[in-house]
Amino acid sequence: MSQTQDNITLLTASSLARHYRFGSSLVKALDGVDLDVRRGEFLGIVGASGSGKSTLLNLLGGLDTPTAGAIRTAEGDLNRMNPRRLARYRATEVGMIFQSFNLVPHRSALGNVELALYFLDVPLRRRRALAAEMLTRVGLADRLEHRPADLSGGEQQRVAIARALVKNPALLLADEPTGNLDRDATHMIGDILADWNRGGGTVIMVTHNLDLARARAHRVLRMDYGRFVAEDLSAGGLE
């Protein structure tokens, strides 16, 4: 399953920490994480609720800033980037999908996908064409004008995936993409992600579904209390 993965490092996180001060107590959502992600890799992350998986993805996606540690990418150190550079990193390098889809409710499927190209200064007509093409690729050619409310959960998540992939990012961050979906929809989403990965894309997927992680990922890591606790839970690994 790991034919396309090469040995070039896409990003490296070292001693990554994210602490929240909550009154007098300190919540260590992330507490010293080291991670190497290779280009073309499909990485699965599992772990109990509250173990810091979302926190890690938000840091890697440049949405959040770490309390300590560094994230090195081909574009440079994320913690050295000013807010505008970081926004640019999010616009060009990273696609994100979430358990709750995070679609804009008043925009059509096409409008939502197009949104990812607004900040890349893609002209209107090309934006439309690219978005329609991407929606066709995830099997929604006949749902372009539907509002999220008029789509099933699986369809909404496919719109979200189309939005994340339309700009052809270096990295796809999926935070429990199938958390709200049934088995068939889960399977379909898994297919799309694996497909994109086979085309050379790098995926980091957080999930509670160990079977899904094992079925799709090259490597599966477990988080606990803000750290990685075991290397490789994939089909051939520990446990």
Partner 1 sequence: MTARDLIAMSFGNLWRMKLRSALTIAGVVIGIAALVSMMSFGAGLQKNVAESFEAMELFSTLKVLPRPQTQSSGPDTATYRTLDSTAIRQLSQIPGVKSVWPEQVFQVRAKLGEKGANTSVQALPAEAGQWKVFRTLKAGRFFASDTVREAVLQRELLKRLGLTDPDSALGREITLITAKVNLAAVWGGAMGVKGLNPFAEARYTFTISGVLESTMSEYQPRDLIIPIGAAQQMEYLSFSSPFELLNQVTRGAGGGYSSLTLRIAHSRDHDAVRDSIDALGYNTFSFADMFAEARRALMIFDAALGVVGFIALVVASLGIANTLVMSIMERYREIGILKSLGADDRDVRRLFLAESAVIGFLGSVLGLVFGWIITRIAQAIAGYFMAREGVPRMELFDLPWWLISLAIVFGVGVSLLAGLYPSRRATKVDPVQALRHD
Ligand X SMILES: Nc1ncnc2c1ncn2[C@@H]1O[C@H](COP(=O)(O)OP(=O)(O)OP(=O)(O)O)[C@@H](O)[C@H]1O
**Strand pairing class (68-73; 9-22):** antiparallel
Strand partners, 228: 223
**Strand pairing class (94-98; 171-175):** parallel
Region binding ligand X by CB under 6 A among candidate stretches 46-54, 87-95, 100-108, 145-153: 46-54
The CA distance from 198 to 31, in Å, is: 32
Q: Is 20 in the site for ligand X (CB under 6 A)?
A: yes
Q: Is 7 in the site for ligand X (CB under 6 A)?
A: no
Residue 51 C-beta: closest distance to Mg ion, Å: 9
Strand partners, 172: 95, 203
Q: How many CA atoms lie within 13 A of 197 on its CB side?
A: 27
Q: Is 74 in the site for partner 1 (CB under 8 A)?
A: no
Q: Is 55 in the site for ligand X (CB under 6 A)?
A: yes
What 3-state DSSP class applies to 173? strand
Partner touching 154 among ligand X, partner 1, Mg ion, none, CB below 5 to 8 Å by kind: none
Partner touching 109 among partner 1, Mg ion, ligand X, none, CB below 5 to 8 Å by kind: none
The CA distance from 167 to 162, in Å, is: 9
**Strand pairing class (202-206; 42-47):** parallel
Question: With respect to partner 1, which residue has the nearer C-beta, 63 or 229?
Answer: 63
Region binding partner 1 by CB under 8 A among candidate stretches 5-13, 38-46, 55-63, 140-148: 55-63
Start-to-end CA span in the chain (Å): 20
Lateral strand order in the sheet of 76-77: 25-38, 9-22, 68-73, 76-77
Residue 70 C-beta: closest distance to partner 1, Å: 19
> Positive or negative CA dihedral for 218, 228, 100, 121?
negative
Q: Is 119 in the site for partner 1 (CB under 8 A)?
A: yes
# residues near partner 1 by CB under 8 A: 30
Largest separation between any pair of C-alpha atoms in the chain: 53
Partner touching 20 among ligand X, Mg ion, partner 1, none, CB below 5 to 8 Å by kind: ligand X
Q: Is 146 in the site for partner 1 (CB under 8 A)?
A: no
Contacts of 14 (CB under 8 A, 6+ apart): 34, 69, 70, 72
Question: With respect to ligand X, which residue has the nearer C-beta, 1 or 27?
Answer: 27
Partner touching 119 among partner 1, ligand X, Mg ion, none, CB below 5 to 8 Å by kind: partner 1
The residues binding ligand X (CB under 6 A) are 20, 22, 27, 29, 47, 49-55
The residues binding Mg ion (CB under 5 A) are 54
The residues binding partner 1 (CB under 8 A) are 54, 58, 61, 63-64, 83-84, 86-88, 90-92, 96, 98-100, 102-104, 106, 115-116, 118-121, 124, 163, 179
